[in-house]
Amino acid sequence: MKKNTKINLLLLLAVAALAVLPLALGLGDHKEEPFTGADGEAETAITEIEPDYKPWFSPLYEPPSGEIESALFSLQAALGAGVLAYYFGLRRGRRQGERQARERDADSAAAGTAEESTAERA
């Protein structure tokens, strides 16, 4: 097995563990909403420290339910991952194309010198 394949498998295993372990270990069971985002946690902490706190800004759009908010967040993450994958794929393709072009140039140069030496012998 190649070194990169081993590293990729270990990274995939780590990501799977990060996704499954909190659910399997029951982390967050003591909370009303166990896996809320950092925004909700921050809001709770601020209101405990300063009950009269008034936010400076209000959201431009407030989704009607948590499910829609979660779906929009997932869509945003998927679009970001797609853009990054496109960029890195494009970079890799360009590098491979440049390498193949250099190899073709080197092969044609080597073939050209072989033809010249054959012509000189004749």
If one counts the domains in the chain, the total is 1
In a domain, 71, yes or no: no
Does residue 83 fall inside a structural domain?
A: no
User: How many angstroms separate the CA atoms of 18 and 48, rounded?
Assistant: 30
Structural domain containing residue 53: 1-58
* Model-wide pTM > 0.95: no
pLDDT tens-place string over residues 12-52: 999 999 988 887 887 766 766 666 677 777 888 898 999 89
Q: For the ranges 13-22, 60-69, 100-109, 111-120, which has the lowest average pLDDT? A: 111-120
Residue 22 inside a domain? The answer is: yes
pLDDT category of residue 1 using cuts at 50, 70 and 90 = confident
- Taking 90 as the threshold, does the pLDDT of residue 109 lie above it? no
Q: Over 60: is that where the pLDDT of 119 sits? A: no
Is 112 inside a domain boundary? no
Mean pLDDT score, 107-113: 76
**What burial letters (b/e) apply to 33-60, b meaning 16+ CB within 10 Å?**
eeeeeeeeeeeeeeeeeeeeeeeeeeee
